[in-house]
């Protein structure tokens, strides 16, 4: 097996699992132990961390057929009833392919065009909110992400920031994070414990799981039933769900539509909010980048109107900024864990079937061989040309497009990428068109820190939004 910390005889490295920013610890362990992969054990489960772009590419992309499983979380999948979600379903389950096909069709470039009025209406609400109560930045961004995805997935209009769906959806992503926390639930390592009755003195996890299951079920079932009622009443609007539901569908077919639509919220909400928070913090810290991006937007859009989806393809510098935001502050530093479904070997090491494979996206995106001075925020990495007519985004020799890592790998790669990129660019363009973002802190005094979780972003510090055209 590849090298790594050994830990204790029974629990392995359970007590050494890093509590904050594990990607940094895994990268440091990778250097300490050497080799193309880092290996460790928690109880009876073995994890390999891939810290280099070559290992990530050779295993997760080139051997995607056997590296696209997901490790089973007994707590989340079985106790909380989430085995059939798009995220958790096994890579060899026949539904996996059907899910991917429906999601790729429903989130294609054409679908983005169809949904552009939703994106445009909601970004206007976001800009208005930031102008009125800028201190509530995170609430405005979360409301925006939820409103967009609830309308796209179900045709459901979210009202204010206190819409009940926002808090229940927010709660559900927190629950998934808690249920997935490595080393926290003994049942993940001793699956036989799942048969213990809930009243048993040590079966706290079963009672907790039952409460969580109820909340998680309502997140998937309530909006689905709501669309069906709208269709029956003839009041539905076009959405991912209403496009796919047909009279006479089997229960199985309808269930597939329900889980795919549910995955849209889970996939889009925290990721877009994280990307936008990091963007705003970095713009406050880098006024010259902000000015250059704004000049580009003004030159294409002018001052008499606001940016629309049709404009975002003509903003190469802003695209470079967006790529650099997500390289510097990756949204999902460890992507999501994969599982290898057959015995394999790589670089002289044995990789047993069932091993959890964790791609260290953060380590790859901060590898100085790929991205020189990786801790410097510099959109120029992805820009070619100088004048506005010949400016285009492409990786310079040796600086690969970070999208190859940011959105995951192989047959699990994010199906929302074609939706996420233009949606983010639209929000970024509208915010820079409307405001100058500053911070009262001196840029040098701000220590950039990151949150820890499945998704991560720069920890917010005080920012100000000065309106550029109060009349618009």
Residue 214: CB minimum distance to ligand HEM, A: 23
Instruction: Give, for 383, the enclosing helix (H) or strand (E).
Output: strand 383-384
Instruction: Tell me the site size for ligand HEM, rule CB under 6 A.
Output: 26
Rounded to whole angstroms, how far apart are CA atoms 308 and 29? Answer: 46
Residue 359: CB minimum distance to ligand HEM, A: 7
Of residues 101-130, those binding ligand HEM (CB under 6 A) = 103, 107
Residue 323: CB minimum distance to ligand HEM, A: 11
152 versus 193: smaller Cβ distance to ligand HEM: 152
> What would the DSSP string read from start to end of 77-103?
IIISS-TTSTTTS-TTSHHHHHHHHHH
CB 185 within 8 Å of CB 45: no
| 312 belongs to the binding site for ligand HEM (CB under 6 A) | no
> What would the DSSP string read from start to end of 34-61?
-SSEEEEEETTEEEEEE-SHHHIIIIII
| 219 belongs to the binding site for ligand HEM (CB under 6 A) | no
- Core vs surface per residue 306-342: b (16+ CB within 10 A) or e: bbbbebbeebbbbbbbbbbbbbbbbbbbbbbbbbbbe
| 23 belongs to the binding site for ligand HEM (CB under 6 A) | no
182 versus 416: smaller Cβ distance to ligand HEM: 416
- How open is the CA angle 281-116-84, to the nearest 5 degrees? 80
Residue 260: CB minimum distance to ligand HEM, A: 8
Residue 367: CB minimum distance to ligand HEM, A: 18
Which residues share a beta bridge with 351?
344
- Core vs surface per residue 290-305: b (16+ CB within 10 A) or e: bebbbebbeebbeeee
Instruction: Give, for 414, the enclosing helix (H) or strand (E).
Output: none
Please identify which residue in the block is written with the tokens 């106790």. 79
298 versus 344: smaller Cβ distance to ligand HEM: 344
Q: Where are the beta strands (DSSP E) in 353-409?
A: 356-359, 383-384, 392-393
Which residues share a beta bridge with 356?
47, 339
DSSP state of 181: -
Of residues 405-444, those binding ligand HEM (CB under 6 A) = 406-409, 412-416, 419-420
| 351 belongs to the binding site for ligand HEM (CB under 6 A) | no
Choices 127-135, 162-170, 270-278, 298-306; region in contact with ligand HEM by CB under 6 A? 270-278
> Is 414 marked within a binding site?
yes
The number of angstroms, rounded, from the C-alpha of 105 to the middle of its chain's C-alpha atoms is 19
| 98 belongs to the binding site for ligand HEM (CB under 6 A) | no
Please identify which residue in the block is written with the tokens 């660019």. 425
Q: Where are the beta strands (DSSP E) in 410-458?
A: 435-438
23 versus 87: smaller Cβ distance to ligand HEM: 87
Of residues 329-348, those binding ligand HEM (CB under 6 A) = 331-332, 335-336
Choices 179-187, 247-255, 259-267, 298-306; region in contact with ligand HEM by CB under 6 A? 259-267
Please identify which residue in the block is written with the tokens 């990495």. 381
Contact residue for ligand HEM among 79, 130, 219, 268 (CB under 6 A)? 268
138 versus 441: smaller Cβ distance to ligand HEM: 138
| 267 belongs to the binding site for ligand HEM (CB under 6 A) | yes
| Residue numbers belonging to the annotated binding site for heme | 414
Positions that interact with ligand HEM (CB under 6 A): 86-87, 103, 107, 263-264, 267-268, 271-272, 275, 331-332, 335-336, 406-409, 412-416, 419-420
């Amino acid at each position: 097996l590849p090298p790594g910390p050994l830990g204790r005889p029974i629990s392995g490295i359970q007590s050494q699992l890093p509590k904050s920013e594990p990607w940094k610890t895994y990268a440091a362990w990778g250097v300490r132990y050497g080799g193309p992969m880092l290996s460790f054990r928690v109880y009876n489960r073995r994890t390999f961390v891939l810290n280099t772009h070559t290992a990530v590419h050779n295993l997760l992309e080139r051997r995607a057929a056997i590296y696209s499983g997901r490790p089973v979380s007994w707590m989340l999948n079985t106790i909380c009833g989430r085995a059939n979600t798009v995220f958790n379903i096994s890579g060899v389950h026949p539904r996996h392919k059907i899910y991917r096909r429906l999601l790729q069709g429903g989130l294609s470039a054409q679908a983005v065009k169809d949904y552009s009025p939703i994106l445009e209406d909601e970004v206007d609400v976001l800009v208005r909110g930031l102008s009125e109560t800028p201190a509530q930045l995170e609430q405005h961004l979360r409301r925006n992400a939820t409103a967009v995805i609830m309308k796209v997935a179900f045709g459901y209009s979210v009202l204010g920031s206190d819409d009940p769906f926002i808090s229940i959806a927010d709660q559900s992503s927190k629950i998934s994070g808690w249920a997935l926390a490595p080393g926290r639930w003994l049942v993940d390592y001793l699956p036989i414990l799942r048969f213990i009755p809930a009243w048993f003195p040590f079966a706290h996890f079963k009672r907790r799981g039952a409460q969580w299951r109820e909340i998680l079920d309502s997140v998937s079932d309530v909006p689905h039933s709501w669309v069906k009622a709208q269709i029956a009443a003839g009041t539905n609007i076009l959405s991912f769900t209403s496009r796919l539901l047909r009279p006479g569908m089997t229960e199985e077919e309808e269930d597939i539509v329900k889980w795919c639509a549910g995955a849209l919220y889970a996939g889009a909400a925290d990721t877009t909010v994280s990307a936008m928070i990091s963007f705003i913090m970095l713009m406050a810290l880098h006024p010259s980048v902000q000015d250059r991006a704004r000049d580009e937007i003004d030159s294409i859009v002018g001052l008499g109107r606001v940016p629309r989806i049709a404009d975002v393809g003509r903003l190469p510098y802003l695209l470079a900024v967006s790529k650099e935001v997500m390289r510097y502050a990756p949204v999902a530093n460890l992507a999501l864990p994969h599982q290898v479904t057959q015995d394999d070997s790589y670089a002289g090491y044995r990789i047993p079937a069932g091993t959890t494979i964790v791609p260290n996206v953060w380590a790859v995106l901060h590898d100085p061989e790929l991205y020189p001075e990786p801790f410097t925020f510099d959109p120029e990495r992805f820009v070619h040309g100088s004048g506005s007519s010949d400016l285009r985004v492409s990786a310079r020799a040796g600086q690969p497009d970070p999208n190859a890592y940011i959105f995951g790998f192989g047959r699990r790669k994010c199906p929302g990428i074609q939706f996420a990129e233009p949606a983010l660019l639209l929000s970024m363009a509208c915010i820079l068109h409307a405001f100058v973002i500053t911070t009262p802190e001196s840029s040098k005094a701000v220590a950039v820190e990151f949150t820890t979780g499945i998704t991560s972003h720069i920890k917010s510090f005080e920012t100000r939004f000065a309106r550029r055209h109060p009349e618009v």
